[in-house]
Amino acid sequence: MYGERVARWERAVEWPLMIAAILFLLAYAVKIIYQPTGAVDAASEVVLWATWALFALDYIVRLTITEQRWRWFYRHLLDLAIVVLPMLRPLRLMRFLTVLALLNRGAGNRLRGKVTIYTIGGTIVLILMAGLAVLDAERGGPGPIEDIGDAVWWAFVTITTVGYGDYVPVTDIGRIVAVALMIGGIALIGVVTATVASWIVERVADEEHKKAAATEDQVERLRDEIAELKSMIRELKPAA
């Protein structure tokens, strides 16, 4: 019962939360890249806190309606961090990682066959997220990352494990973002690999099922033919 309630809730809020996360990313990007003041800055703050409230509500509801609360709590520590760390500005962007979790909730048949799109989209999102977050942490500091171009380049070479070393975060928050980017890249690869593997296993299972069904049909037809032959032989015996 509780599992069904959680599943229904997740299906109901999947798209609203995804839209909220996109709005959060846009508002965060405006604040970090353009550093607005006045009404634009106030509107960005409203969007950031409104999306945080939505994710907090989603976390509380799921924790409330789940059956094994402690087990669910232990397995969703990242969601908890997304909710309780809003005051750390670079880590506020971690809330957008919920989008990946939302995608993973339905990462079955809906994503199979669209693995390439998911991989490209997820990679771009991670690079942009990490670039904005590290720029927020590093700009004005002693490190070399001072604009969005440098930040995105750093995120790109980091997630691809190239690591030229020309741009590196030097602040504590920047290094935390770097660790999150590394883990996120590994997790993305794992999700894609698992999706492809499960799709292949299901295709093989479907083919085996079709072959087994075809074999059963052939056996059944042979049985019918044998029964007809037996019937014909019985009819021929009296005439002989």
Domain residue limits, the chain: 1-106
Query: What pLDDT is stored for residue 109 in this prediction?
Result: 47
Query: What pLDDT is stored for residue 237 in this prediction?
Result: 65
Q: In terms of pLDDT, which residue wins out, 99 or 115?
A: 115
Query: What pLDDT is stored for residue 113 in this prediction?
Result: 52
Does the pLDDT of residue 221 top 90, yes or no?
no
Written as one string, the DSSP assignment of the chain is -HHHHHHHHHHHHHHHHHHHHHHHHHHHHHHHHH---THHHHHHHHHHHHHHHHHHHHHHHHHHH-SSHHHHHHHTHHHHHHHH-TTSHHHHGGGGHHHHHHHHHT-STTTTT-HHHHHHHHHHHHHHHHHHHHHHHHTTSSSS--SHHHHHHHHHHHHTT---SSS---SHHHHHHHHHHHHHHHHHHHHHHHHHHHHHHHHHHHHHHHHHHHHHHHHHHHHHHHHHHHHHHHHHHHH-
CB 21 within 8 A of CB 98: yes
Confidence of residue 76 (pLDDT cuts 50, 70, 90): confident
Structure tokens at 234: 């019985």
State the average pLDDT over residues 65-71: 83
Residues constituting the chain: 240
Most confident of 27-41, 198-212, 217-231: 27-41
pLDDT per residue over 127-185, tens digit each?
888 888 899 889 888 889 989 999 999 998 888 777 788 889 999 888 888 888 888 77
Q: Among the listed ranges 14-23, 55-64, 166-175, which one has the minimum average pLDDT value?
A: 14-23
Query: What pLDDT is stored for residue 16 in this prediction?
Result: 84
Q: In terms of pLDDT, which residue wins out, 163 or 105?
A: 163
Rounded-to-integer distance, Cα 224 and Cα 48, Å? 71
CB 106 within 8 A of CB 14: yes
Task: For the chain, give the percent of residues with pLDDT over 90.
Answer: 7
State the average pLDDT over residues 41-63: 87
State the average pLDDT over residues 65-85: 78
CB 58 within 8 A of CB 101: no
Residue 112, judged by CB atoms within 10 A of its CB (0-12, 13-18, 19+), counts as middle
> What is the pTM assigned to this prediction?
0.66
Query: What pLDDT is stored for residue 129 in this prediction?
Result: 82
Q: In terms of pLDDT, which residue wins out, 3 or 48?
A: 48
Question: What is the rounded average pLDDT for all residues in the chain?
Answer: 77
Query: What pLDDT is stored for residue 179 in this prediction?
Result: 87
Query: What pLDDT is stored for residue 46 in this prediction?
Result: 92
53 closest CA partner among 65, 41, 45, 64: 45
